[in-house]
């Protein structure tokens, strides 16, 4: 009573194919695979530490009236 035999699994597979058709099953598997890939990429992004760029310092500019021209 605990486990299913091979015959039971064949009947379940046939019922799934009849209910969903042969075209929707590969689409569903592709969607699941795409979702898993996006999930793994999201986990990788969370693990990588964000590198903060050092602030760029502009050189001090002198006002135009204090510049000595010769």
Three-state SS string over the chain comes to: CCCCCHHHHHHHHHHHHHHHHHHHHHHHHHHHHHHHHHHHHHHHHHHCCCCCCCCCCCCCCCCHHHCCCC
Residue 57 falls within a domain, yes or no? Answer: no
Domain tally for the chain? 1
Count CA within 13 A, CB hemisphere, residue 62.
Answer: 5
pTM: 0.43
Residue 33 falls within a domain, yes or no? Answer: yes
For residue 7, what pLDDT is reported?
Answer: 92
Residue 34 falls within a domain, yes or no? Answer: yes
Low-confidence ranges of the chain (pLDDT < 70): 1-2, 47-55, 57, 59, 62-70
Residue 60 falls within a domain, yes or no? Answer: no
**Which residues, 6+ apart, have CB-to-CB distance to 20 below 8 Å?**
28
């Amino acid at each position: 009573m605990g486990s299913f035999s091979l015959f039971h699994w064949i009947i379940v597979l046939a019922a799934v194919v009849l209910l969903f058709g042969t075209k929707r099953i590969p689409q569903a598997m592709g969607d699941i695979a795409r979702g898993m890939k996006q999930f793994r990429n999201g986990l990788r992004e969370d693990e990588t530490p964000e590198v903060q760029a050092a602030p760029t310092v502009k050189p001090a500019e002198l006002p135009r009236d204090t510049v000595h021209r010769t």
